[in-house]
Every structure is written in C-alpha cells, then in structure tokens.
Amino acid sequence: MDFERGIREADETDLRTDELVINMGPQHPSTHGVLRLVLRTDGEVVSEIVPHIGYLHRSAEKIGENLSPRQFLPYSDRLDYLAAMNMNLGWALTVEKLLGMEVSEKCRHLRTIVCELDRISSHLVAAGCYGLDLGSFTPFTWTFREREKILNLFEAICGARLTYSYITVGGVTADAPPGWLKQVEEFLDEFTPVIDELHAVLTSNSIFIQRTAGVGVLSPEKAVDYGCSGPVLRGSGVGWDMRRDGEPIYARMYEGYKFEVIASVNGSYPQDEKYPPVPVEAIVGDSWHRFYVRMLEVVQSMKIVRQAIEKYSQCGGDVGKPIALKMKLPKGESYLETEAPKGQMGFMIIGDGTPVPWRVRIRSSSFCHASVIPELCRGLLIADVPAIVGSLDVVLGEIDR
Amino acid sequence: MIVQAIFDRLSGPFSSLMTGLNVEALDPWIEIKAEGLPEIARFLRDEPDLAFNYLHCITAVDYFEPDAKKAAAAEWQPHVELIYHLSSMTHRHRLVLKTKLPRWRNDIAGQLPEVPSVSSVWSTAEWHEREVYDLMGVIFTGNNDLRRILCPEDWVGHPLRKDYVMPEEYHGIRAR
C-alpha cells in the first residue's frame, strides 16, 4: 500500500533511524571476560550504555566467612587471575595487619620482586589485548611471548603458572631456588629492547593514536569521584600510588626504592628514559594516556625489580613461613589497600576470636572502573566502546568476586 | 588530621548525630547516626580542611548469630553495620565512618532497613550501594538505580546475611 508513497516522501532530510538496542557480551572477545554491555544506539552513535556484571560471581566474600585466612589464600588468586601475586600480597598483608605481624626484610624484598614481575606480566596482557581490541594482532603475540618468560620464572619459584598462592600470611611459601635471581636479571635484559618494539607498533603507531587519542576522556575530578585508581587514575593526571602513599605496612615494602609515580604533570611525563612523545591529539585522561601510563610503569617496575634483587641479595635470615592453619584471629577489623596492577585492591577482615573471620570484604578496583564505562562511552561511536573498555583494563574475576 | 581531631571538628555542627569514636582500633573509626549520613558526608567532602574526596569502599557487616547458645555469649545485639572507608588525597588522611542499622525495619522480618544514600556525594557509592543492597539487603533511599548487581534480578534473599539459606534450586538448576 503506502510503501511506495513512503519511499517517495522519505527525502534525504527525513532519513531517520530508529533506536536500536545492541547486546555486547557476555561472550564477546573485546569485553575482556564476561562483561555484558547493553548499548542503546542511534545509527553508529551510542546514546546509552548499561554494564551488567555478575556472570563470574563465586561468592568469595561468603566463602571467606567459612575458611581460615590461610585456607582463603587460593581464593584470592582467583580474583585478579592475571596478577595473582598481588592479590596474595593484599590478602596476606591485611591478615598480617590484623595479627600485628611483621615479616623479615629479606621476605619483603622477595615479595617486591615477584609482585613487580607480576605487574609487568599484567601490563603486558593489558597492552597485548588492547592491540587485539583495536585490530592489531602482532603485539599480542609479542607480549604473550614475554609474559611466558615471567610465568616460567614463577613456575620455577612456586610451581604454578597462574594461581600461585606463593605470598602467604607470615611470609612466602619457599625461598627462591638457587640461580633464580640470575634468571630474573637475564629476563630483564632480554625484555628491555622489546619495550621499544611495543612502542613502535602501538604507542606511536598512527592508527593506534587515531583510535585512542581523545577517546573516552576521564577528567581527574571524575576519576576521583568514581573511585578510580591505578593506571586509570594516573592516566587522568592524578599522581596517586599506594606504593608511595599507602599505609606504612604496605609502603614499607618500597621504602628506599627509587621509582617514579607515573602521571602526567602539566601534560608531560617524567623523562628519565627515552619514550615516544605524547601526540598532539592526545588529551590527558583519554585511552591513549591510560595505555601510555601502563607502558611507562613497566619500565619503573623493572627498575624496582633490579633494586630489589640487589637488596635481597644483601639480606640474611629466612623468608618466613605460613602461619598455623587454624591460628586464632584477634578481635578487630583490618582494612588495607595495596597497589595491584589494575588499581587499588582492598581487603577487609573482621576477626572475632575464632580461627575463621566474621566477615571478609574485597574491594576491587576494576569494579569502580566498570562503573565509569557509561560515563565515558556516552555519545561516542560503537567502535570506540572496545577502545575504552580495553583501556580501562578490567578483569571480571575481580569485579564479580 | 587525626581521627580525634576530625571527630572534634564534626562534633561542632553535628553533635546530636555522633554516637561513637574509637581511636585505638587498627583503623580508627567514628560512628554516626544513619539519618545524618548524607549531611556529614557532604561536610566531610566539602570542608577544605577535611576534603575527603575519595570513597574507597562501602562494607556491610551482619551481626547476627543463628545459634542461640552462641548468640547469648555475643557482646552485641543483632544489627547490620555499614562501614565507609574514606580518604583525602590533598591532606593524605584516612577515616572510617560507621553507622548501625536494625536488621529489619521496625523489627518485622522481611522488611529491609533503610539508610540515606551518599551516591550524590561520591559516585563510587552508586555501585557499592547496589552491591550492599544485593548481598546484604539494605535499601539506600536516594540511589536512583538500586537494582541487584552480582546476583540475577530474580534471586531471592540476600546471601551475605548470616541467616541466609541457599535455595534448593534456581530455574531447575540444583543449587545445593
């Protein structure tokens, strides 16, 4: 009937498309796990985006109420499974804070070595997968090749390649095997030139810059308001790092170390090494800056590892041993945030005089980062959504707990 | 600023809302009445000498002992406690803010307790309050998007409550 008339009447000024609701995820390669995003789109423009989480919810907090802290340690591995060492550290330090316990200096330096290696490995995954999100496959293979070497080092020290349970309440499970430190140094030497290669294919690549610079700008005020932390917060130009600004029990691990907190100050970064320049299109707080901060942090972590190896080698004594499985917890509450690769990871434990805590709370940085996705994606193109979600580097194991 | 000083600072304008202070705890805390939460939160954020611009986390703890024998020995009356971890990036000080709620509104089982939302003060609270609602069953009045976040929308009960019983099945899937 009116079909032909409809075509006649629809002149170019009246070409309107209906709003379309698109479901992205939970099984979508560029949502980094089981994040589900519901996009309300008008043509290519995203007018609204609603994240749905919980597909990986495993009741970690409830499980914590039924296990002693040492039994809970393997569950902490499975929060941010790309940086399990840092998760172990957060849990171990929180319980140590409750117990009023302090580990030996040697143990502290060993913990620093493995945590910073894991930070490098996590940032490598972030960088590689980010390239993959934007259609560049090569850096993914390079970063995973390098990560493999770190996993081999971890396998040598604790036997596991993903879920380590290595840093434990009271120390670490075993001292580094003979020759391990030398292997770490060899890895660092081999890895140094790779960073420049990654800068060549990603950071300073013009397609990469066009896809990320000026996309998803998170202002410093918004970043703080939403509780962002880690590279996301520092990418917005807020120099805040728990390794420097955290509570003494954690910051002591980095006392006497020389490293920079990477955050742009008036649009420029500390230039202690030669890095690619900031492109003119980039705005502080955009996806490019978040990526850049991660890349520069890798260099800082390498510096810390080198210093830690030196300090560790000069220390005598032992590296501590795990507390008794059914050790009674004192009454009290202890909350501690540590600087995990993705951001500030907080644990809380409430002891009630029995070996099993009354309550365990896990505060995840990715949880806060996922909550800014609607804010960042509003009004941008559909193709920008993976570019923004990838730059936030969320891990769903940590969001859903 | 240390917690004692913050307490004194708050006691001026909000003396009737302050209910407790513990400076000996590992993380020193201040306890306030639930109805004063948004006002005090705004004050803590906006006063230049306090400037608590960063909300780390909202935690809810259920103080309830299903076992009658153990409950008799407990030092507390059953209640739900909300814990807010705050810090100021400018002054580098930290604060733990607590408030107590009844487990059920008007002590009628099934009626969830209510507390005013602080999501207009810190946006972090939006999702954290959703999580507390989902897992602990506390209603935050003023949070415009108070839906379940980790559990499915049609889930029954609030799993982190101490008297929660896991359902036998969920949509034909055996749950225990």
* Both tokens assigned to B135: 């897992």
Residue B126 CB-half CA count within 13 A? 17
Pick from B27, B124, B160: which is nearest to A368 by CB?
B124
> Which of residues 18 through 77 in chain B touch A, CB cutoff 8 A?
25-27, 53-57, 59, 61-62
Pick from B62, B89, B94: which is nearest to A224 by CB?
B89
Reported confidence tier of residue B93, pLDDT bands at 50, 70, 90 = confident
Q: What share of chain A is helix, strand, coil (3-state, %, to 5)?
A: 50, 15, 35
Strands (E), A156-274: 167-168, 171-172
Mean pLDDT for A91-102 is: 91
Q: Are B56 and A227 in contact (CB < 8 Å)? A: yes
CATH number of A49-399: 1.10.645.10
Mean pLDDT for A171-177 is: 87
Closest chain A C-alpha to B115 CA, distance in angstroms: 20
Q: Where are the domains of chain A?
A: 49-399
Any A CB within 8 A of B1 CB: no
Reported confidence tier of residue B73, pLDDT bands at 50, 70, 90 = confident
Nearest to A312 by CA among A89, A103, A101, A113: A113
| Most B CBs within 10 Å, among A65, A79, A99, A224, to test the B interface | A224
3-state secondary structure of A162: coil
Mean pLDDT for B30-45 is: 89
- Report pLDDT digits (tens) over A329-356: 898 899 999 999 999 999 999 988 889 9
Task: Count other C-beta atoms under 10 Å from residue B175's C-beta.
Answer: 9
Q: Are B149 and A226 in contact (CB < 8 Å)? A: no
Q: What are the Cα distances from residue A66, in Å, to A59, A190, A290, A349, A358?
A: 11, 45, 38, 12, 8
Q: Which residue of A has its CA nearest to B29?
A: A333
Contacts across the A-B interface (CB distance below 8 Å): 78
Separation CA A83–CA A89 (nearest Å): 10
- Report pLDDT digits (tens) over B106-116: 878 888 899 99
Would you say residue A255 has pLDDT above 70? Answer: yes
Interface ipTM: 0.88
Pick from A57, A238, A333: which is nearest to B27 by CB?
A333
Q: Are B96 and A240 in contact (CB < 8 Å)? A: no
Any A CB within 8 A of B2 CB: no
Separation CA A348–CA A72 (nearest Å): 13
* Beta carbons of B98 and A348 less than 8 angstroms apart: no
Reported confidence tier of residue A12, pLDDT bands at 50, 70, 90 = low
Mean pLDDT for A123-151 is: 90
Write down all domains in chain B, each with its CATH number in brackets. Answer: 3-174 (3.30.460.80)
Percentage of the residues of chain B whose pLDDT score is greater than 90: 21
Nearest to A111 by CA among A262, A308, A284: A308
Q: Are A401 and B150 in contact (CB < 8 Å)? A: yes
